[in-house]
Structure 1
Amino acid sequence: MDLRQLEFLLTVADEANFTRAAAKLRVAQPGVSARIRQLEQELGHDLLDRSGRTVRLTAAGATVLPYARAAMAAVAGARLAVDELTGLLRGRLSMGMVAPYSTTEFDLADLLASFHRAHPAVRITLSEGTADALVESLQTGRLDVAVIGLGAKRPAGLACHVLVDEPLAAVVRADHPMAAAAAIPFAELRERTLLTFSRGTGLRSVLDAASARAGAPLNVAFEASDPGVLVQLVARGLGVGILPESAARALPKLRSVPIVRPRLRGQLAFAWRSEAPSSPAVRAFLQFACDMRPALDSVTEMRSRRQGS
């Protein structure tokens, strides 16, 4: 067994395709297949199921995968540790972000640019996904860190650093009967046609959890992952948007009405594996990001105690 075999196995597992994996590795596809076959013969089990259109791990492959990741991470860590002794920080940072990423409260591009200027030898990759998909990628080690929307519960095995914390509101057109209301109780939303985020997003999880607690099923007629799409639908009078309060600022003809009993909040956070060893590059980025954006957790907890339900 050698590191190149493990690298090939990891890449095929991540890409779910030999052709894409070979292109990523810059190796001919037969070479990738041959090295993985050698590994399977050595272990005495098939690691990949090649029978479908996509390549999947077998039960044996799923068992081997975390060990393969740990071995590759250990080698990378050894190299980076030597670099640290010479004062050079380099390596790789694999980041995910909720799709689409949209907030006026936090500028991810500015943060990444500032970190790159400070550590130009660190290679950064960025990908998009839903909160659920990003959490899974963090837990399985495909991502080092991600910007996710937090739901009603913190994801298992992950540490979180809250970046943005703002109320959810009922967003309506300025000529809507609700526009002049000081607030609307959550239970009254069941009588409205609602527009909100798709399932799998942190904010939708907050809304669904509140609905379950209140025993008040909601009439969600329109779902979208893009807040800009939802804002446009609200502006055309298709219903009441359940969105971050700042979304009402997108168009001057929209108004936000606070939701009370309970007051709901949406949070955007950095997340990473809480117990897995991280590379010097990942540790440096997290320290850099947290220094630039102090955590809002204590602020959130104090606000929750003060507001209650």
Structure 2
Amino acid sequence: METRQLEYFVAVAEELSFTRAAQRLFTVQSTVSATIRTLETELGTTLFDRSTRRVALSVAGRAFLPEAKTALEAVDRARSVVQEASAGLRGSLRIGTMTSVSALDLPALLGAFHAQHPLVDMHVTVSMTGSTGLAEDIRHGRLDVALLGLPETELGGLAVRELIAVPYHALVPSGHELAGRGSLRLADLAGERFVDTPRGFGNRIAVDRAYAAMGSPRRVTVEVADLRAVPSFVAAGLGVAVVPDVVPLSVPGVIVVPLTEVGFTWPLTAASHAERPPSRALRTLLDLLDDGALGPGAGKRRQTLRNSDTGGHGAAAE
């Protein structure tokens, strides 16, 4: 059994498509199909149930998938150990991030990491679907690490380092009846129309849950994928907003009001897979992210918060 066969099998199992797996592997579909057939012959079983409409893992394929991933990870670790011993830090890192992260200068940090460790191959992906999609990519092995803004309850299966916690503020149009208040409670905005990011973004999840817990589910009438656009829609009178103080909130026509809810903050975290030992390259990058985070408490919470199965100004909230 060859490493290449395992790599092809894992790609098809995760994509559930020979075509997408071939694109991911930078090869042609016929090569992927032939490799999987050879592997099935060697194992004496069918790994995929194929039809004209869909590809699904067979019972044997589902049992084989975690073992194949473990074998590939062991090969990668062995290769990295040998390479590092002879030529310094090596390996590959697949990094996921949000559309805008200003809690830390990520390009500068990654540039510094590359300058110091040029033999580590980095691939950076920017998510347009928010932290939920990035978390799923980590759980399924498509990313090694990602910057997330999810509530703690959404971090199952992840090992997490909190880099910074950012308070939420209310945004109201300048002519709104609450614009003159020195502070607000979430309950003061119950019943209003809201501007927010789409479902799946970390800040949206947290605020939706806060209002649901009060028995006053929100009505979000404007959804924008970039948090930086929210104040402009509020200024236009299209709703109010409750957002973390992570991008410029003060624009003409908008009043920014602090919230009085204690402990209601948005976390920026660096997350990796809870059950896969981090490579030396990943550990080095995580330490660098700790050092580079700016804002209240940054760099002071270096411990892994939890393997969540058991249970300031900064970054664009997703």
Superposition TM-score, scaled by structure 2 size: 0.83
**1:25-44 alignment, distance < 5 Å:** 25-44=25-44
Distance 1:172 1:103 in 2: 24
Given candidates 103, 108, 111, the residue that maps to 2:109 is 111
Contact 1:147–1:269 at 8 Å: present in 2 too? yes
Distance 2:137 2:215 in 1: 33
Deviation at 1:13, TM superposition (A): 3.0
Q: 1:208 to 1:262 in 2, by over 3 A?
A: farther
Deviation at 1:122, TM superposition (A): 0.9
Distance 2:192 2:47 in 1: 52
* 5+ residue gaps, structure 2: 306-318
Distance 2:199 2:105 in 1: 25
The residue aligned with 2:236 is: 236
* 5+ residue gaps, structure 1: 302-309
Range with greater deviation from structure 2 (152-161 or 19-28): 19-28
Distance 1:206 1:190 in 2: 15
Deviation at 1:285, TM superposition (A): 1.3
**1:250-261 alignment, distance < 5 Å:** 251-261=251-261
- Write out per-residue CA displacement over residues 55-98 of structure 1, whole angstroms, 9 at most, x where no aligned residue: 44344323222211111111111111012222511110011123
Q: 1:250 to 1:109 in 2, by over 3 A?
A: farther
The residue aligned with 2:91 is: 91
Query: Residue type of the partner of 2:189?
Result: L
3-state SS of paired residue (2:89): coil
Contact 1:162–1:297 at 8 Å: present in 2 too? yes
Distance 1:296 1:57 in 2: 44
3-state SS of paired residue (1:114): helix
Range with greater deviation from structure 2 (27-36 or 48-57): 48-57
Query: Residue type of the partner of 1:96?
Result: G
Contact 2:14–2:140 at 8 Å: present in 1 too? no
The residue aligned with 2:282 is: 282
RMSD of aligned residue pairs (Cα, Å): 2.6
Deviation at 1:7, TM superposition (A): 1.1
Q: 1:24 to 1:254 in 2, by over 3 A?
A: same
Contact 1:178–1:257 at 8 Å: present in 2 too? no
Distance 1:166 1:289 in 2: 17
Contact 1:195–1:222 at 8 Å: present in 2 too? yes
Q: Which runs of 4 or more aligned residues in structure 1 lie more than 6 Å from their structure 2 counterparts after TM superposition?
A: none
The residue aligned with 1:183 is: 183
Contact 1:111–1:289 at 8 Å: present in 2 too? yes
Q: 1:97 to 1:53 in 2, by over 3 A?
A: farther
3-state SS of paired residue (1:260): coil
Q: 1:121 to 1:183 in 2, by over 3 A?
A: same
Q: Which has the higher contact order (CA 8 A, sep 6+)?
A: 2
**1:68-147 alignment, distance < 5 Å:** 68-98=68-98, 101-127=99-125, 128=127, 129-147=129-147
Contact 2:90–2:117 at 8 Å: present in 1 too? yes
The residue aligned with 1:304 is: none
**1:12-31 alignment, distance < 5 Å:** 12-31=12-31
Q: 1:202 to 1:189 in 2, by over 3 A?
A: same
Contact 1:151–1:204 at 8 Å: present in 2 too? no
Query: Residue type of the partner of 1:35?
Result: T
Query: Residue type of the partner of 1:120?
Result: P
Identity of aligned residues (%): 37
